[in-house]
Structure 1
């Protein structure tokens, strides 16, 4: 489920969290906590299994997420929010909620969001450099929604609204193969 629009269920949960964080003046702290959760989700098979297990009791999922929140020292608002997701049987929405929250925060700040697919995790310096290049291209501050897909082999795929910039090695190899087929 990769939705993230305001009308989706994940978007509505993200909007509720955003409104609470905005009223508490903790938008940056909440985004930082969500980014930490997102990074953990990318590397922890156990956390993915916990939020994706539909057979596990909601209370057990909630206890697991509470333990994660305590271990990561997440702000109380985020820890409570994770409890609400678990209690409502919506823990599996967490990745989409994070994405929707990031999009809403970027919009709130007047930033555009670029969806980036990379072959490997980008460093903070690489993300900063990419955001700067995209800002130079578009004239707008840029928030990045980065996902990792080793299948592209190298390079990046960047989506800015309806525009796509594909510098992936996979696409270059496919184009080369198509050209070679035309030569034989």
Structure 2
């Protein structure tokens, strides 16, 4: 995985620079997200490296409808360099660069069950106080957590799950 990230980083920076210069962060986010979803599809992924798939066909397959010329050119560059399979990593790195430029923290809240909006607002407010930035929350449900939630915000992980508490208790009793 780290190898893919290393290869994807210069392309993500290039995409970010193009988006910044065109003042089109949101449009590039949407286009990259679409292309990344298509590239990650199990039926599409094997096609991306196939020699019979020409660059123009690859761009037509991966570009969202109505994609601007610069984005299509970007996909063509990836195709020429054999890097289309990196689109999911490129999209993720691009979003990190965008969040940094817009002074936003992206956080993921994984809970044992769906959280009510009031709790999400409280989590968002607490993270905003902690990081001094706007917070965009993504939510997920993982019943294996038993109860509580795990919050991932950048390099910070806050494990308030019952599974995490049990694991810490077990470790303390064993040590």
Using the TM superposition, give the Cα deviation of residue 110 of structure 1 relative to its aligned residue in structure 2, in angstroms: 2.3
Using the TM superposition, give the Cα deviation of residue 22 of structure 1 relative to its aligned residue in structure 2, in angstroms: 1.7
Contact 1:38 1:95 in 2 (8 A): yes
Matches within 5 A, 1:18-167: 18-40=16-38, 44-51=41-48, 54=49, 56-57=50-51, 59-60=53-54, 63-70=57-64, 72-114=65-107, 116=108, 118=110, 129=121, 131-143=124-136, 155-161=149-155, 163-167=156-160
Unpaired runs of 5+ residues, structure 2, are none
Summarize deviations over 1:77-127 as a string: whole Å, max 9, x none: 22321221111011122111111111111121123344x37479x9xx79x
Give the Cα separation in 2 of the matches to 1:65 and 1:18: 19
Distance 1:41 1:152, change over 3 A: farther
- Higher-Rg member (1/2): 2
Q: Output the TM-score relative to the length of structure 2.
A: 0.68
Q: Output the TM-score relative to the length of structure 1.
A: 0.65
Counterpart position of 2:14 = 16
Give the Cα separation in 2 of the matches to 1:131 and 1:58: 48
Using the TM superposition, give the Cα deviation of residue 74 of structure 1 relative to its aligned residue in structure 2, in angstroms: 3.1
Q: Say which SS state the counterpart of residue 57 (structure 1) adopts.
A: coil
Give the Cα separation in 1 of the matches to 2:69 and 2:125: 33
Aligned length in residues: 168
Summarize deviations over 1:122-176 as a string: whole Å, max 9, x none: 9xx79x84545421332212356x6979696574341433x31124565355446
